Structure 1
Amino acid sequence: QVDGLATANGGFRVSAGHKTLACDYLALAAGGHSTRLAATMGVKLPLWVDCNMLTVTEPGPRVIDKVLTHIGGTMSLKQHSNGTVLIGGGWQGRGKFSQQTREIDPVAWVQNVGLGASIVPGLRGLRVNRAWAGYEAVTKDALPMLGRMPGIENAFVAAGARGGFHMGPAQGFVLSELILE
């Protein structure tokens, strides 16, 4: 686990336990830990952490060929190539990021899965493979914080986009392009 970040000799020092790593460029993409780590370099990132729930169904016939979302952001449905369906949309589980506790909220979970089945009736009858609660760092406007870290040369940040579980790879690609410019 990374404990701290610092500028040093025109580059950066990354502290992780008893180890210190040196680098010329820094990419901060640590989800809910991004705020704490940026603060070790004197940068305030306006993020908060949600405890979102996600559900994966058993494989089923193709019923969704696009990512479906609700304009209010309370539903997200994606069907993978293996037929499983990911049901999410920012429904909150129970947990405290500071204590690293997280669990499903059974009432909200039933509502979330029920809403998904009402939008796509083809989901009815599919069994649930697994469900979990996980953390997602979010900005006030739910748009990604993606680019140069304010006031620090060669430091970059990717954090805070609603839907980050699936947006992470795209953010990583954009971040790598920015670093290589």
Structure 2
Amino acid sequence: MIVVAVINEKFLRDMMKVALSWPLAALLVTGAAHSATPDNATLFFCARAALFAESFTEGTDANKSRQESVTAAVALLNSTFKDKVDEATLKLLFPWAVVADKLPGYKPYTKGSYVAVSCIGALSEAVYVPFQKPEVPPQVRSFLDTCEAKGSREAVGQCIKSGFTSLPLEKLDK
């Protein structure tokens, strides 16, 4: 049984700091050690985080409980990727679902695209979007509204990727 905890912004930043402080250890936990390069390991981790967030969002959007949504997301990852999700991996993936959960009203794949881009940005450049500041969520919503108007999943993803750096980003303390 997977226990879901309420995760606040400080926990999210702390988890990202852990992942950035020990990138190799964090990525080894996800099974990315089998990848050829650190860039591949980052892509692997962020692909899993995006799919996890997307599935979690689909569950919560369908009025399933957080526990049911997490269980379904883990099952999807386990059927999609060779490496299975264990408790340590879930601790690294769950904050990305929390990020997506902060943006209600958007299509699951919009959140998945956002998670993928922000995850790669966080792991490679040690930056994050400071959701704890009250003026930031409206800016992110406006940004996602613009991207969601593009229509297709691919167009939304490209819009988010090209415009992510226009968001108010903060550097993580290593």
Normalised by the length of structure 2, the TM-score is 0.32
Normalised by the length of structure 1, the TM-score is 0.31
Select the structure that is richer in helix: 2
Structure exhibiting the larger radius of gyration computed from Cα positions: 1
Select the structure that is richer in strand: 1
